[in-house]
């Protein structure tokens, strides 16, 4: 047992919007246990259920400010697959790099499956700038970037407070205004934009690469036909003849 994460007093935020994949839930619990072995003190579960995306995340940020003890939030979406030590690695790297805002790497569930972190670049054929998904990235490093999804993220109290004090912060909209319907950013990139304006640097940790569960597969009769043609893909039967 080690104490390299001692001093981190954290809230968990894993928003849910329906049924949670049991494997995702189990892996998250194991990861939390691993961080506890290394000194993290978990002060509460601030996970909202069945709230709108932006509102759900704003509730968590406000819960942190209302706490007199918590000094950070771990955000883990309920569809993330992770290895036992992924969360410990992310938090260790946050301490090592003094990062107030750091994200692991995962990819979009649907094609083209781009990584869910973004550069701030000039739009092609325009004088405007915006968030652009990365095409590729080096594995096993920590690097600064401009935006990310909030599937697997750590934010410090300092980051939340700094954004709340910035001139661009609107208390009525909070940290995560979801403005995609009005030509703006979704709630995650809105937070990143506010962080950027407030001088809070995002770091991406490509030593922590997560799985992102996609839509469940629906089985049709033709799947049986395909399996008969390729019996090696069928997998072993159990004692009752059921796969």
Lookup result for tokens 């709340």:
164
Instruction: Tally the C-alpha atoms within 13 A of residue 98's C-alpha that lie toward its C-beta.
Output: 0
Which residue positions in the chain have pLDDT lower than 50? 236-243
18 lies in a domain? yes
Q: Is residue 233 part of a domain?
A: no
What does the chain come to in residues?
243
Residue 77 pLDDT: 96
Q: What is the C-alpha separation between 195 and 159, in angstroms, rounded?
A: 8
CATH number, residue 66: 3.90.550.40
Q: What are the tokens at 126?
A: 């325009």
Helix (H, G, I), strand (E, B) or coil at 221: helix
Closest CA to 75 of 110, 104, 37, 36: 104
Residue-level pLDDT at 223: 83
List 142's β-bridge partners, or say none.
205
Domain count along the chain: 1
Q: Is residue 182 part of a domain?
A: yes
Q: What is the pLDDT of residue 218?
A: 86
46: tokens are 């601030």
Flag whether 56 is in a domain: yes
C-alpha 148/C-alpha 116 separation (Å) is 6
* pLDDT the model gives residue 8: 98
Question: In the prediction, which pLDDT does 242 show?
Answer: 40
pLDDT at residue 32 in the model: 98
Residue 1 lies in a domain: no
> Parallel, antiparallel, or unpaired: how do β-strands 129-133 and 117-122 relate?
antiparallel
Structural domain boundaries, residue 15: 9-217
pLDDT at 241: 38
Hey, CA dihedral for 105, 110, 114, 117, is it positive or negative?
negative
**Which two tokens mark 87?**
């969360």
What predicted TM-score, i.e. pTM, was given to this entire model? 0.88
Residue 170 lies in a domain: yes
Instruction: Kindly state the tokens that stand for 14.
Output: 């894993």
Q: Is residue 237 part of a domain?
A: no
Does 212 reside within a domain? yes
């Amino acid at each position: 047992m080690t104490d390299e994460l001692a001093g981190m007093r954290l809230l968990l935020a894993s928003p849910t919007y329906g049924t949670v994949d049991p494997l995702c839930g189990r892996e998250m619990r194991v990861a939390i246990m691993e961080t506890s072995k290394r000194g993290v003190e978990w002060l509460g579960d601030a996970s909202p259920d069945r709230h709108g995306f932006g509102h759900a995340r704003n509730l968590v940020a406000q819960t942190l400010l209302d706490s007199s003890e918590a000094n950070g939030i771990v955000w883990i979406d309920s569809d993330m697959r992770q290895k036992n030590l992924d969360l410990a690695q992310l938090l260790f790297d946050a301490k090592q790099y003094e990062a107030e805002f750091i994200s692991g790497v995962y990819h979009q569930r649907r094609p083209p499956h781009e990584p869910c972190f973004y550069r701030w670049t000039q739009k092609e054929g325009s004088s405007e700038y915006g968030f652009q998904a990365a095409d590729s990235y080096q594995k096993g490093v920590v690097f600064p970037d401009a935006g990310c999804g909030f599937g697997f993220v750590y934010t410090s109290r300092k980051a939340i407070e700094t954004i709340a004090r910035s001139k661009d912060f609107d208390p009525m909209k909070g940290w995560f205004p979801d403005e995609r319907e009005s030509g703006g950013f979704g709630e995650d990139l809105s937070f990143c934009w506010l962080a950027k304006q407030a001088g809070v640097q995002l770091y991406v940790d490509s030593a922590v690469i997560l799985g992102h569960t996609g839509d469940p597969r629906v089985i049709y009769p033709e799947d049986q036909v395909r399996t008969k043609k390729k019996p090696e893909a069928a997998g072993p039967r159990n004692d009752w003849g059921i796969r």
